[in-house]
Amino acid sequence: MSTVIEQPVEARLVAAAPRMPNIPATLHYDRDDPFAVRMTFPAPATLEGVEVCWTFARELLAAGLQEPEGHGDVRIRPYGYDRTVMEFHAPEGTAVVHVRSGEIRRFLDATDELVPTGLEHLRLDLDHDLAELIRDA
């Protein structure tokens, strides 16, 4: 069984221009980091011309499908019938994208099969993580 899930999604960039461009993105989940989800935007889709990766809580992604969630760098909220708005805040500015809620639900269902929600703590190896911290100190 794979320990990683990667799912391409189509994100629609909300911009000042009348036509919102579609940009590719990838949702990523690794059962060795069971609380986190990553969303990666490839270099051609970013203003800087480099790949950009945002890491945030899987719980935030799931909750944001139902109601507005997040107070920090990543904020998620439902929008319309089957869209979810994701806001990414950085010192350089804010990016706002729409993603189909169905794609996010499909991704979350796959992560839940890998590590059931509420059982993430069972995947943690605190002794190993502590040993790594001490070794690096």
Residue 84: closest CA among 101, 70, 106: 101
User: Could you tell me which residues are beta bridge partners of residue 6?
Assistant: 28
Per-residue pLDDT of the chain (137 residues; tens, 9 = 90+): 578 899 999 998 886 555 667 888 999 999 888 999 999 998 877 777 789 999 999 999 999 999 999 999 999 999 988 999 999 998 888 889 999 999 999 999 999 998 878 656 555 555 555 566 677 76
* pTM (predicted TM-score): 0.82
